[in-house]
């Protein structure tokens, strides 16, 4: 069994951003030489997420609107008593989760025809990282 680990860094200009990282993760998998296994992609911050879905602009806008409806930015979150103003970002992370696990088959990620991997930022404008860890044979 072998493994490969790389870190991706993000510093988004907006509070909320959605970045397609599929090709970057695919390049890491190919470089690892792993033919059969899994790649885990995980946001290492509690105000960001990793998810798999379609790379369609309208859908990304729908996801953002849905998240803002379920966990809107507002002033009165109890979390804000700590001096932070990102209570909504923590809740959005819980809705979207922090990581995905993708199979590796024949040396490539085994995604469905429309599946893409996204980094979702909910409290941007500062440096954050994602771990990409491939394991297998």
In tens, the pLDDT along 44-90 reads 999 999 999 999 999 999 999 999 999 999 999 999 999 999 999 99
For the segment 99-106, the average pLDDT, to the nearest whole number, is 98
- Structure letter (DSSP) for residue 47: T
**Distance (Å, whole) CA 91 – CA 94:** 5
For the segment 24-37, the average pLDDT, to the nearest whole number, is 98
At 131 the pLDDT is 98
For the segment 105-114, the average pLDDT, to the nearest whole number, is 98
At 92 the pLDDT is 98
At 40 the pLDDT is 98
Give the model's confidence band at 93: pLDDT under 50 very low, under 70 low, under 90 confident, else very high: very high
Q: Identify whether the C-beta of residue 28 lies closer than 8 Å to the C-beta of residue 4.
A: yes
In tens, the pLDDT along 5-29 reads 999 999 999 999 999 999 999 999 9
What are the helix (H) ranges across the chain?
22-32, 57-70, 87-96
Domains defined for the chain, CATH in brackets: 2-136 (2.60.120.460)
At 64 the pLDDT is 98
């Amino acid at each position: 069994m072998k493994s490969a680990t790389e870190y991706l860094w993000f510093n988004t200009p907006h509070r909320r951003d959605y970045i397609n990282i599929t090709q970057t993760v695919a390049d890491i998998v190919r470089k690892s030489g792993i033919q059969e296994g899994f790649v885990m992609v995980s946001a290492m911050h509690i105000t960001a997420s990793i998810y798999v879905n379609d790379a369609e602009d309208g859908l990304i806008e729908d996801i953002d609107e849905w998240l803002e409806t379920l966990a809107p930015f507002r002033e009165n979150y109890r979390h804000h008593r700590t001096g932070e103003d990102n209570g909504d970002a923590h809740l959005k992370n819980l809705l979207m989760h922090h990581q995905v696990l993708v199979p590796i088959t024949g040396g490539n990620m085994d995604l469905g025809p429309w599946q893409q991997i996204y980094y979702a930022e909910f409290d941007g404008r500062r440096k954050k990282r994602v771990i990409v860890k491939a394991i297998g044979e």
